[in-house]
């Protein structure tokens, strides 16, 4: 006999930790599948902030084992006609209100199927109109973890709601302009700028600005980021009226209390203060613009 | 061979999440029963706020599987002569200081037995006088989860301490007057008014105010809430100097930022703001009076 | 067949609960050892506050079952050349950055071995420089829980970084002077003064101050704390310009709202307010000096 691996069900909500809502959801799951392994991703998403929920789910989902059931409930439309969907990808199941919570994820994980969840056989009896986390998401997730197939939950649909995720743009001046999309507990300012955007920014520079060597590498699509940066004279990140020069590898590259720019653990350009709080230092908020200027070659 | 279902032990405390107290409790349980399934209900009960603890436990306990052991520690009397009790009901075990934490629950779940926990064989050695969560509640709960019977924990007693839970009253003006008993993370104002109170409020109206049809239904005790409300001209909820007209089914029945009244997921009348915070909007707090006026028929 | 006990992996970090960092760590562990029993000790250590992390780990670790793997990540040096170490003691494994997080623990639990963790076979591929919790600590802890030996993780070293933990001193006036080292959610002021310090304080008094009976007991090293205190006329604790007389056993020894001094659940002298908040009452903070004066005999 082999003991079956417990299926992981993750929870990401805006329920907070001050009430009993999260506990209730876990009770419902444990009642249906006592062997489910419930893992909290986060419950402190600001109330109704779908964008932050989508970002946090995106940074986490792929670190869980295959077949994990990711349940995300940031759901200002609860009780209305918005759909609840079960999305299956190559490796995961997602159970979410159809309001854009998967907007970041579908950019890199193509849905194999999208099911509108309607089969109330898998709901608690007489579901409330205000707490679908308890009455719909929890029992459906628990049944999925027991082997119910997404197809049994409802009918197939073709499209998901999408949030408008801001993309960095290349300015005429050559700068890459992005924005702060998330600020974490440490005050790190996480932007929407990836390494790829900077590489493209360099590729987009007029060729008279570039060295012949770099020119050839770019033509052959062999440029690595490291090369690019090693060739750069300077990278400057402009945030408000302040400027941070250079790109760091670790927080410790600068002195305590000083600002730095690096690519963070989610793959995005981040502005931080070594042992400090960049949000307080720069007095900025989500949505603030960030410009990155790469020197000539 | 069948793998035994892990027994669920829930934890509800005022220990908060900023210290290690909750983690320590989990350590003690895991040391005695490594297969226990520990589920947090909530640890953010305001310090020593037994009433909120009692409310949160009430809204959660029945969503857990049968035989769950509910441990609630909001315990301003720790170390004094207050009792610790193990209460068994038809479906659950409760392990609590005897200070009123079960006041809501015993209104709907009659105790089969109440045991004063005194058998220190099931405690940690040399229990402290300030952290019974670690030294008494955790080990006793773990032993219960291993099959120890409540009767082995101490001697039977007959009565539990009760909080004074405020009841709604019917005013001479015909209004039902209740009060805010809990405010959640979203700022929803949860009152002590249930559907039953409103039905009784209507039943208590002088009959010349009511339609003949409704009159007959009430006599035959066949009135449903839906009928009552469909017959009502208006339901008005008065909170401070403000008034909310009508009863909603979902938050989305009104525009974003507007107030509404509905029956929430715990069965109580709630005042909310669609995508907003009713506590901030109405500037009220727990204990504030709420009046519901049902129009004539 | 017997079902193996799940190994406990504890987590203590400064990651907070507002982001997804803790959830991600749990995902990585579940992916490697789906049967690991992950227990949160605390994630609200103030950012980069190694001292508080060390204190909290010290008060918790020994309440977990033998062979528990304690992972603590308060790591201002992440990505720099600071070491990650796996420390094995008689009963436990600790996986921490080598920055002093074990400073309290090594005072009572001698390391059997200290390994500098370098074997990246047990890391996630391409570890980031900012999130070793995800890329190093989580996978290494999971592998340990599967039976990997500390020796397989890297090479043996001999010494750990130590924090400077303040020790109480005996003043010429005979007072024992300590300081507040931690303040918990309830506002309890936890000092670095243990019972042993007070006993030594009494032993250090000039003998003309002491009764002959006590004198003899002390000579024979038979004095118990209880005896000492029962012989003391007064114990006074001075905090700022205020004074608390006597030593309590429980919070309830004084009226609600009044201050008291007792030995708390971690073994340290604590100043509390019965059903109140001593930090607000005394307006003090970590580092504030506390003096205890034991009357003559």
Task: Tell me the pLDDT tens digit for each residue of C17-65.
Answer: 999 999 999 999 999 999 999 999 999 999 999 999 999 999 999 999 9
Q: Any idea which of A220-224, B88-92, B263-267, C196-200 has the lowest mean pLDDT?
A: A220-224
Closest CA to C71 of C144, C160, C151: C144
Count Cβ atoms below 10 Å from residue B141 Cβ, excluding itself.
Answer: 30
CA-angle at C51, arms to C50 and C56, nearest 5°:
100
Give the model confidence (pLDDT) of A25-53 as tens digits: 999 999 999 999 999 999 999 999 999 99
Sign of CA dihedral A156, A161, A166, A170: positive
CA B244 to centroid of chain Cα atoms: 25
Contact of B91 with B112, CB cutoff 8 Å: no
Q: Please enumerate in sequence order all residues whose Cβ is within 8 A of that of C146, keeping only pairs 6 or more positions apart, or say none.
A: C32, C33
| Structure token pair of residue C73 | 């990540």
pLDDT at A158: 96
E strand segments, B34-78: 37-42, 69-73
pLDDT at C234: 72
Backbone angles phi, psi at B66, to 5 degrees: -55, 150
B275 part of contact set with chain A, CB < 8 Å:
yes
Average pLDDT taken over every residue of chain B: 91
Map tokens 């950012």 to a residue. Answer: C47
Q: A3 and B3 in contact by Cβ < 8 A? A: yes
B29 part of contact set with chain C, CB < 8 Å:
no
Chains that touch A (3 or more CB pairs under 8 A): B, C
C23 part of contact set with chain A, CB < 8 Å:
yes
Sort out which chain C residues have CB atoms less than 8 A from A65's CB and list them. 27, 30-31, 34
**3-state DSSP assignment of residue A292:** strand
CA atoms within 13 A on the CB side of C49: 20
pLDDT at A4: 74
Contact of B211 with B224, CB cutoff 8 Å: no
- Mean pLDDT over B201-217 rounds to 62
A35 part of contact set with chain B, CB < 8 Å:
yes
Backbone angles phi, psi at A244, to 5 degrees: -115, 125
Q: How far apart are CA A56 and CA A97, in angstroms?
A: 16
Q: Is A212 exposed, middle or buried (0-12, 13-18, 19+ CB in 10 A)?
A: exposed
Q: Please enumerate in sequence order all residues whose Cβ is within 8 A of that of B284, keeping only pairs 6 or more positions apart, or say none.
A: B180, B189, B239, B240
**3-state DSSP assignment of residue A146:** coil
> What is the per-residue burial (b if ≥16 Cβ within 10 Å, else e) of C222-231?
ebeeeebbeb
Give the model confidence (pLDDT) of B50-72 as tens digits: 999 999 999 999 999 999 999 99
Contact of C23 with A10, CB cutoff 8 Å: yes
Q: Any idea which of B131-135, B245-249, C102-106, C137-141 has the lowest mean pLDDT?
A: B245-249
pLDDT at B264 over 60: yes
C40 part of contact set with chain B, CB < 8 Å:
yes
Q: B23 and C12 in contact by Cβ < 8 A? A: yes
pLDDT at B297: 47
E strand segments, C127-186: 154-157, 169-170, 176-183
pLDDT at B200: 75
Map tokens 């060597």 to a residue. Answer: A213
Angle between helices B50-60 and A21-32 (to 10 degrees): 30
Contact of A132 with A103, CB cutoff 8 Å: no
**3-state DSSP assignment of residue C292:** strand
Closest CA to A210 of A104, A280, A296: A296
Contact of C83 with C116, CB cutoff 8 Å: yes
**CA nearest A4 in B: which residue?**
B3
pLDDT at C199: 78
**CA nearest A77 in B: which residue?**
B252
Cα–Cα separations (whole angstroms), residue B187 to A191, B195, B271, C199: 31, 21, 9, 52
Q: C130 and A184 in contact by Cβ < 8 A? A: no
C48 part of contact set with chain A, CB < 8 Å:
yes
Give the model confidence (pLDDT) of C59-74 as tens digits: 999 999 999 999 999 9
User: Between residues C278 and B229, which one has the greater pLDDT?
Assistant: C278
Contact of A30 with B63, CB cutoff 8 Å: no
pLDDT at C1 over 50: no
pLDDT at C296 over 90: no
DSSP state of C136: I
Provide the ipTM.
0.92
Q: How far apart are CA C84 and CA C82, in angstroms?
A: 7
Cα–Cα separations (whole angstroms), residue B199 to A101, B194, B250, C213: 40, 9, 20, 76
Q: C129 and A262 in contact by Cβ < 8 A? A: yes
| pLDDT averaged per 10 residues, chain A (length 297) | 80 97 98 97 97 98 98 94 96 98 95 98 96 98 98 98 95 91 97 88 61 62 59 78 91 94 95 96 96 75
Q: What percentage of chain B carries pLDDT values higher than 70?
A: 87
Q: Any idea which of B28-32, C20-24, C252-256 has the lowest mean pLDDT?
A: C252-256
Average pLDDT taken over every residue of chain C: 91
Instruction: Give the residue from A1, A6, A19 with the most B CB atoms within 10 Å of its CB, the best one to mutate.
Output: A19
Give the model confidence (pLDDT) of B36-55 as tens digits: 999 999 999 999 999 999 99
Question: Which residues share a beta bridge with B114?
Answer: B87, B157
The DSSP H or E segment spanning C226 is helix C225-231
pLDDT at B1: 46
A129 part of contact set with chain B, CB < 8 Å:
yes
Q: Any idea which of B76-80, C115-119, C138-142 has the lowest mean pLDDT?
A: B76-80
pLDDT at A297: 46
Q: Tell me which residue in B1, B5, B185 faces A34 most closely, judged by beta carbons.
A: B5
Closest CA to B56 of B109, B104, B1, B93: B104
DSSP state of C3: P
> What is the per-residue burial (b if ≥16 Cβ within 10 Å, else e) of C42-77?
bbbbebbebbbbbbbbbbbbebbbeebbbbbbbbbb
CA-angle at B251, arms to C18 and B290, nearest 5°:
95
For residue C225, what pLDDT band results from cuts at 50, 70 and 90? low
Q: How far apart are CA A277 and CA A174, in angstroms?
A: 29
**3-state DSSP assignment of residue B163:** coil
Backbone angles phi, psi at B11, to 5 degrees: -125, 125
Sign of CA dihedral A119, A120, A123, A129: positive
> In angstroms, how far is the first alpha carbon of chain B from the final one?
64
């Amino acid at each position: 006999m082999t003991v079956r691996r417990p299926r992981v069900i993750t929870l990401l909500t805006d329920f907070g930790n001050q009430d009993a809502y999260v506990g209730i959801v876990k009770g419902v799951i444990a009642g249906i599948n006592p062997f489910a392994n419930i893992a909290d991703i986060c419950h402190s998403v600001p109330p109704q902030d779908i964008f932050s929920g989508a970002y946090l789910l995106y940074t986490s989902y792929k670190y869980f084992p295959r077949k994990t059931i990711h349940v995300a409930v940031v759901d200002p439309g609860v009780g209305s006609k918005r759909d609840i969907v079960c999305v299956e990808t190559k490796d995961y199941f997602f159970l979410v209100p159809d309001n854009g919570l998967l907007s970041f994820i579908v950019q890199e994980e193509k849905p194999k199927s999208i099911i509108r969840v309607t089969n109330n056989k898998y709901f608690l009896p007489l579901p409330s109109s205000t707490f679908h986390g308890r009455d719909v998401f929890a029992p459906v997730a628990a049944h999925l973890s027991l082997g119910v197939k997404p197809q049994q939950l409802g009918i197939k649909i073709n499209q998901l709601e999408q949030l408008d995720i801001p993309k960095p743009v290349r300015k005429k001046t050559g700068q890459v302009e992005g924005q702060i999309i998330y600020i974490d507990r440490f005050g790190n300012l996480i932007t929407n700028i990836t390494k790829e955007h900077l590489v493209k920014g360099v590729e987009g520079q007029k060729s008279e600005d570039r060295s012949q060597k770099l020119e050839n590498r770019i033509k052959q699509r062999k440029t690595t980021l490291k090369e690019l940066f090693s060739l750069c004279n300077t990278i400057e990140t402009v945030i408000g009226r302040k400027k941070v020069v250079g790109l760091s590898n670790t927080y410790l590259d600068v002195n305590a209390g000083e600002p730095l720019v690096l690519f963070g653990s989610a793959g995005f350009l981040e502005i931080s203060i070594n042992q400090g709080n960049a949000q307080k230092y720069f007095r900025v908020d989500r949505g603030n613009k960030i410009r990155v200027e790469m020197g000539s070659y």
